[in-house]
């Protein structure tokens, strides 16, 4: 598996340090607010776990499963929601968490869906931002790392449901998905 990663883009240590910084920022942002963290599974499971542990405040965590990729390397343009929230977010401060924002299709669709539920506020955080792929101009409010236009895996990010368990983020060799 590791032999298919042609370059380590972000080390385990770099990720841990940045997640700790984001946790401190978000603690200050949401101090005294009724916070619901909404994680977009499956990819952000690693990130949201570490991020919420780095946030020193009360919160609820809920999950959604949504994707516009399937097993491909580019968005289909259609967002498929397979699991919705189990809690009411009306009047709550919502932080939408994802592993990566590239095209912005999934982030925009889920953000719009959540806004319809009348939260007190809605902000977004993405571990990785691949702005070169953005097709809708949407940016996350908080970003861990701006990354180049390469197909990455590890720390929750996958190709065809594999590579998520790598402790770092690396560039997948194109021969794997060619």
> Which entry of 98, 102, 129, 158 is annotated as an active-site residue?
102
Within 10 angstroms of residue 157's Cβ, the number of other Cβ atoms is 23
154's CB contacts (< 8 A; 6+ apart) are 5, 163, 164, 165, 166, 167, 168, 169, 170
The side-by-side arrangement of strands in the sheet containing 121-129 is 80-83, 60-67, 35-41, 93-101, 121-129, 142-146
| pLDDT at 76 > cutoff 90 | no
pLDDT score recorded for residue 69: 55
Summarize the confidence of residues 97-124 as an average pLDDT: 93
On whether the CB atoms of residues 140 and 146 are closer than 8 A, the answer is no
How high is the pLDDT of residue 59? 98
Mean pLDDT, range 72-81, rounded to an integer: 62
CA angle 64, 129, 151 (to 5 degrees): 90
0.75 cut: is pTM over it? yes
- pLDDT for 70 equals 52
Q: What is the pLDDT averaged over residues 51-70?
A: 89
Average pLDDT over residues 34-54: 96
Domain count, the chain: 1
Lookup: tokens for 5: 């990663």
> What pLDDT was estimated at residue 64?
93
Rounded average pLDDT over 113-136: 93
Let me know: does 78 contact 56? Beta carbons within 8 Å.
no
Q: Domain span at residue 135?
A: 2-176
**Sheet of strand 169-172, all strands in order from the earlier edge strand to the far edge:** 5-10, 169-172, 152-153
The pLDDT tens digits of the residues spanning 140-178 come to 999 999 999 999 999 999 999 999 999 999 999 999 988
> Which CATH number do you get for residue 42?
3.40.50.2020
**Residue 120 has what pLDDT?**
98
Torsion angles phi and psi, residue 7, rounded to 5: -160, 135
Q: Is residue 139 annotated as a catalytic residue, yes or no?
A: no
């Amino acid at each position: 598996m590791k032999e298919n990663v042609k370059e380590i883009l972000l080390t385990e240590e770099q990720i841990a340090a940045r997640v700790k910084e984001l946790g401190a920022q978000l603690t200050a942002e949401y101090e005294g607010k009724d916070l619901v963290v909404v994680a977009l599974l499956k990819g952000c499971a690693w990130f949201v776990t570490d991020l919420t542990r780095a946030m020193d405040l009360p919160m609820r965590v809920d999950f959604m499963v949504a994707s516009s990729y399937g097993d491909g390397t580019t968005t289909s343009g259609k967002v498929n929601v397979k699991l919705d929230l189990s809690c009411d977010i009306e009047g709550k401060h919502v932080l939408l968490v994802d592993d990566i924002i590239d095209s912005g299709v999934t982030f925009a669709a889920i953000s719009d869906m959540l806004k319809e539920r009348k939260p007190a506020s809605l902000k977004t955080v993405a571990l990785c931002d691949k702005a070169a792929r953005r097709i809708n101009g949407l940016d996350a409010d908080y970003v861990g790392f701006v990354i180049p236009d390469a197909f990455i895996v590890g720390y929750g990010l996958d190709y065809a449901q594999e590579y998520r368990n790598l402790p770092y983020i690396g560039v997948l060799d194109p021969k794997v998905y060619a």
